[in-house]
Amino acid sequence: MTQTLLQPTTVAPALVHLGGHPENVVCTGWDRHDDDRFTVTALWPAGTARHIPGHGTHCETLVAAQTIRQAALLLAHAEFAAPLAHAVLLRTFNFTLDPACPLPEDEPAALDIHVTATPTATRGTRVTGVHLAMTLHHGPHVVGTADTAFEWIPPTVYRRLRGTHAEAVSEQPPLPAPLPPAGVGRRTAAEVLLSPTSDPRQWLLRHPFANTVLYDHPVDHVPGLVLIEAAHQAVRHLTQGHHSDGPAGLAGRSAHNLPLAPAFHPTTTHTTFHTYVEFDQPCTLTHHSTHNPLTHSTIHHVYGHQDGRPVFHTILSDEH
pLDDT score, position 21: 82
Q: How far apart are the C-alpha atoms of 248 and 254, rounded to whole Å?
A: 6
Q: How far apart are the C-alpha atoms of 145 and 142, rounded to whole Å?
A: 8
pLDDT score, position 294: 84
Q: How far apart are the C-alpha atoms of 227 and 126, rounded to whole Å?
A: 30
Q: How far apart are the C-alpha atoms of 36 and 32, rounded to whole Å?
A: 8
What's the angle, vertex CA 221, arms to CA 217 and CA 222, rounded to 5?
80
Is residue 14 left, alpha or beta, with left meaning phi > 0 and alpha meaning psi from -120 to 50?
alpha
pLDDT score, position 320: 64
Per-residue pLDDT tens over the stretch 65-111 = 999 999 999 999 999 999 999 999 999 999 999 999 999 999 999 99
Q: Domain-by-domain residue ranges, the chain?
A: 13-317
Query: Beta partners for 205?
Result: 194
**Rounded to two decimals, what is the model's pTM?**
0.90
CATH superfamily assigned to domain 13-317: Hotdog Thioesterase (3.10.129.10)
The percent helix, strand, coil of the chain (3-state, each to 5) is 20, 40, 45
Closest to 96 measured CA to CA, from 250, 304, 316 = 316
CA distances to 63, 66, 157, 165 from 74, rounded to whole Å, are 16, 12, 22, 26
3-state secondary structure of 173: coil
Q: How far apart are the C-alpha atoms of 80 and 73, rounded to whole Å?
A: 10
pLDDT score, position 258: 37
Closest to 136 measured CA to CA, from 112, 101, 104 = 112
155, containing H or E segment: helix 155-162
Largest CA distance in the chain: 56
For residue 161, which phi and psi values (nearest 5 degrees)?
A: -65, -40
What's the angle, vertex CA 234, arms to CA 232 and CA 238, rounded to 5?
115
pLDDT score, position 9: 56
Q: Mean pLDDT for each consecutive 10-residue tract of the chain (320 residues)?
A: 45 91 92 96 94 87 97 97 97 96 94 98 95 98 98 97 96 95 94 97 97 94 98 94 38 36 80 98 96 86 98 91
pLDDT score, position 265: 85
